[in-house]
Amino acid sequence: MHKKMDLYKGKVLVTGGAGFIGSALIWALNKKGIDNILVSDFLGKDEKFKNLIPLKFDDYLEADALIDQLVDPSSILKDVSVVFHLGACSATTEQDCRYLIENNYEYTTAIGEWAIANNKRFVYASSAATYGNGHQGMDDKMEDISCLKPLNMYGYSKQLADLFFQRKGLLKSIVGLKYFNVFGPNEHHKGDMRSVVHKAFHQISQTGKVQLFKSYRPDYRDGEQERDFLYVKDAVDMTLYLAETPETNGLFNLGSGHANTWLSLTKAIFKAMNLSENIEFIEMPENLKSKYQYHTCADISKLRSTGYQKIITSLEDAVRDYIQNYLMSGKYLGD
């Protein structure tokens, strides 16, 4: 196993490196003085390439070419010492099951097996979506993860990868990250998958109000549905900490450890914009009602037990930093 001091002795491979959390991770590595980074992604036709412009890295490789490199003994991957596999289709509404299996399961397991076989530190993105409605709990310490029932194909594709690594006995030597509701700079390209903070900021700028879904459960009033919101700067700090702690392996919840309501989030957004609150509740699309989570909260006691003691940014402070230092100015991480 790699020691912390030599984790970055070779290149750092970041898949999904042009994406939201991936580019934030590269920004955090750059702040540590690390730029011997190989970035891999599908750039496609959106503008996530702009996330990369302020960042420092050695080389870029399209994701389909990366897979070919896994079987080439003379490939550029031979100098890699740590892999952060964050590349995936993150659309929870994606209906193409074959596409999700290929991108979120087959790529993950192929890269993971290659990394382990070649003694590379392997850290990959699972998802809190694997917990489904939470009736089985949201406990990253549970041994029987097969009992989890994701609500959508995205969550199931992530669950399949977790199950594969567990079945092979590999979770004992790798790190899987169950990110909860991460938000922050560099998510502009995500379309409907952008955070409510990003959507609400632009909605308020254009209309002066925010629209939130009504509740369809009597135990939750409108706007009091709850999420564990985590600022992306905290998310990548936790990610790097776990990568750099060699004796720490397995699945980990990455969240704030607190459940905040949509109303609390929205109030923080209006406050950061120095505007009066104006909230409208609207009907939820029928296709979402049966798949909607009313409560998520990460139990991060497992993370804390490893020695991670940093104070997590409060929701209000995180929203203020994101809006005032990035959304209002149009800046990216690293600008």
Largest CA distance in the chain: 61
Alpha helices in 133-284 (DSSP H): 153-167, 196-207, 232-243, 262-272
Neighbours of 104 (CB within 10 A): 27
Which residue(s) pair with 41 in the sheet? 62
- The C-alpha atoms of residue 326 and residue 335 are separated, in whole angstroms, by 10
C-alpha distance across the termini of the chain, in Å? 35
- The C-alpha atoms of residue 95 and residue 210 are separated, in whole angstroms, by 28
Q: Is residue 279 within 8 Å of residue 266, measured between CB atoms?
A: yes
DSSP track, 40-103: EE--TTSSGGGGTTT---SEEEEHHHHHHHTT-TTSGGGGEEEEEE--S---TT---HHHHIII
Contacts of 5 by beta carbon, 8 Å cutoff, 6+ apart: none
Catalytic residue among 56, 190, 209, 302, which?
A: 190
Q: Is residue 128 within 8 Å of residue 100, measured between CB atoms?
A: no
- The C-alpha atoms of residue 49 and residue 19 are separated, in whole angstroms, by 8
Q: At what angle do helices 107-117 and 153-167 cross, to 10 degrees?
A: 30
Q: Is residue 27 within 8 Å of residue 42, measured between CB atoms?
A: no
Q: Is 292 one of the annotated active-site residues of the chain?
A: no
- The C-alpha atoms of residue 142 and residue 147 are separated, in whole angstroms, by 10
Catalytic residue among 154, 156, 179, 231, which?
A: 154
262 CA to centre of own chain: 19
51 closest CA partner among 182, 189, 184, 181: 189
Which residue(s) pair with 75 in the sheet? none
Q: Is 241 one of the annotated active-site residues of the chain?
A: no
Active-site residue list: 154, 190
